[in-house]
């Protein structure tokens, strides 16, 4: 049976792949009295006096909402909330499996950003975090930005930040392997959508000083006369300091790192061959990348990777969001900050000792049991240090508890 047929069959047989479960037994009248009326009134009265106790006495403390409007699902585009539901359901399974985070998929039947924002705001009392998913750009920026302003729980758009963190952890490993410095490396990011823009911002925030963004209009630079969204408008001021102009083939010449979040097959062998010695190439287009791993290596890249699981150096968001939310929830963080994202990058990258790095092993595998605990501990530590956490929990306790939670 093919993957596509099995994907349909398993969901049809099970009426989806997600369910709810009770944490404690309900087998007799006593249990009924404790779990529902009259016993349920007691936590209600306690929470009424202190709303934060809802994190302790209800499922809220370990519950994340995965929220989408279905306007940009995978590479399928605007397919609507119902058709987007399988992705959100699958994401909930990953949250639980890799981070023991309970998650509920919610697909909203609106394309109006204001309605979307207001709906999420109204849902906030039931959740400890919000994971935004598969929302088209540029409205995804405004939705996330406004929700971060009005919510006192973490709001995280995984298509932007999860992708950026996963990619950056791989780039850090690759740069260590080829003995190059992030600060001075020439970095080219092809694609200025939600993921590409987040990657560009993270490169800059982590100290890269020679980053050039490329899109259909060519290289992005301060002064370019094309319509830009507000994130692209910001990126033009902090990247491409020399205002280099040209298309992808022009800009990629002499590059040390080439990252694609764009379209299939656009990284030709000529483009890769024109890069600097010991070139690093990551093609992240999904499901068909800008280049295959094999083609990138054959064209002269020293290190290559994609988002696919059938080739080395897979860049996968599942190394990111379960651990990020696990750490944030464990210290009841009010937000997920840029410093917490950078901490996640380094936690993943540091799992591979420099002596163990290889051209085909610069980023940990998605099933590496160390990943989620390391990310959770790093995120928790920064949340505490920067005052974002509501409670203090020793990050090493967070790490140990995460290992127990996920059985790894």
Report the largest interatomic distance among the alpha carbons of the chain, rounded to a whole angstrom.
74
Angle at alpha carbon of residue 130, lines to 350 and 330, rounded to 5°: 55
The mean pLDDT of 28-47, rounded to a whole number, is: 97
Give the contacts of 384 (CB within 8 A, at least 6 positions apart).
331, 392, 393, 395
In terms of DSSP H, where are the helices of 255-292?
A: 269-273
Give the contacts of 84 (CB within 8 A, at least 6 positions apart).
68, 69, 70, 73, 107, 134
The mean pLDDT of 133-144, rounded to a whole number, is: 95
The mean pLDDT of 140-160, rounded to a whole number, is: 96
Q: Express each pLDDT in 367-393 by its tens digit.
A: 999 999 999 999 999 999 999 999 999
pTM of this structure: 0.96
**Residue 286 confidence class, pLDDT cut points 50, 70, 90:** confident
**Residue 195 confidence class, pLDDT cut points 50, 70, 90:** very high
The mean pLDDT of 25-34, rounded to a whole number, is: 96
Q: Express each pLDDT in 244-254 by its tens digit.
A: 999 999 999 99
| Mean pLDDT over each residue of the chain, to the nearest integer | 96
pLDDT of residue 350: 98
pLDDT of residue 408: 62
pLDDT of residue 176: 98
pLDDT of residue 74: 85
Cite the active site residues.
36, 91
Q: Express each pLDDT in 64-114 by its tens digit.
A: 999 999 999 987 899 999 999 999 999 999 999 999 999 999 999 999 999
Residue 333 has pLDDT above 80, yes or no: yes
Domains of the chain: 3-153 (3.40.50.10380), 161-408 (3.40.50.720)
Residue 213 has pLDDT above 90, yes or no: yes
Q: Are 143 and 113 in contact (CB under 8 A)?
A: yes
Q: How many residues in the chain?
A: 408
Residue 120 has pLDDT above 80, yes or no: yes
Residue 234 has pLDDT above 90, yes or no: yes
Alpha carbon 32 to its chain's center: 40
| Strand ranges across the sheet with 303-306 | 218-219, 211-215, 187-190, 257-260, 280-283, 303-306
pLDDT of residue 371: 98
The mean pLDDT of 260-283, rounded to a whole number, is: 97
The mean pLDDT of 124-137, rounded to a whole number, is: 97
pLDDT of residue 76: 87
The CB density around residue 226, as the number of other CB atoms within 10 Å, is 11
């Amino acid at each position: 049976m093919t993957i596509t047929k099995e994907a349909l069959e398993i969901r049809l047989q099970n009426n989806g792949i997600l369910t709810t479960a009770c944490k404690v037994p309900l087998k007799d009248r006593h249990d009924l009295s404790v779990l529902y009326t009259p016993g349920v009134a007691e936590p209600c009265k306690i929470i009424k006096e202190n709303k934060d106790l809802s994190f302790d006495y209800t499922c809220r403390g370990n519950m994340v909402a995965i929220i989408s409007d279905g306007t940009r699902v995978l590479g399928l585009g605007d397919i609507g909330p119902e058709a987007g539901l399988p992705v959100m359901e699958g994401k909930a399974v990953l949250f639980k499996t890799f981070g023991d985070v309970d998650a509920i998929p919610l697909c909203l039947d609106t394309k109006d950003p204001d309605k979307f924002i207001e709906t999420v705001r109204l849902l906030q009392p039931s959740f400890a975090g919000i994971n935004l998913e598969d929302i088209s750009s540029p409205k995804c920026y405004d939705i996330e930005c406004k929700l971060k302003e009005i919510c006192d729980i973490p709001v995280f758009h995984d298509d932007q930040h999860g992708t950026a963190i996963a990619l950056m952890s791989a780039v850090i490993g690759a740069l260590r392997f080829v003995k190059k410095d992030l600060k001075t490396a020439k970095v080219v990011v092809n694609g200025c959508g939600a993921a590409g823009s987040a990657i560009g911002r993270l490169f800059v925030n982590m100290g890269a000083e020679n980053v050039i963004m490329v899109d259909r209009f060519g290289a992005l630079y301060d002064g370019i006369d094309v319509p830009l969204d507000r994130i692209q408008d910001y990126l033009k001021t902090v990247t491409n300091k020399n205002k280099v102009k040209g298309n992808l083939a022009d800009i990629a010449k002499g590059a040390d790192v080439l990252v694609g979040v764009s379209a299939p097959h656009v990284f030709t062998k000529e483009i890769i061959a024109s890069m600097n010695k010991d070139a690093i190439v990551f093609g992240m287009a999904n499901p068909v990348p800008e280049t295959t791993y094999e083609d990138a290596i054959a064209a002269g890249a020293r290190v290559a990777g994609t988002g696919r699981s059938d080739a080395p150096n897979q860049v996968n968001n599942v190394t990111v969001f379960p651990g990020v939310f696990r750490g944030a929830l464990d210290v009841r963080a009010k937000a997920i900050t840029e410093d917490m994202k950078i901490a996640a990058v380094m936690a993943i990258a540091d799992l591979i000792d420099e002596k163990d790095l290889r051209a085909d092993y610069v980023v940990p595998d998605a099933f590496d049991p160390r990943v989620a605990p390391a990310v959770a501990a790093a995120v928790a530590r920064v949340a505490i240090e920067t005052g974002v956490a509501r409670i203090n929990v020793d990050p090493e306790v967070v790490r140990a508890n995460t290992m127990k939670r996920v059985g790894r």
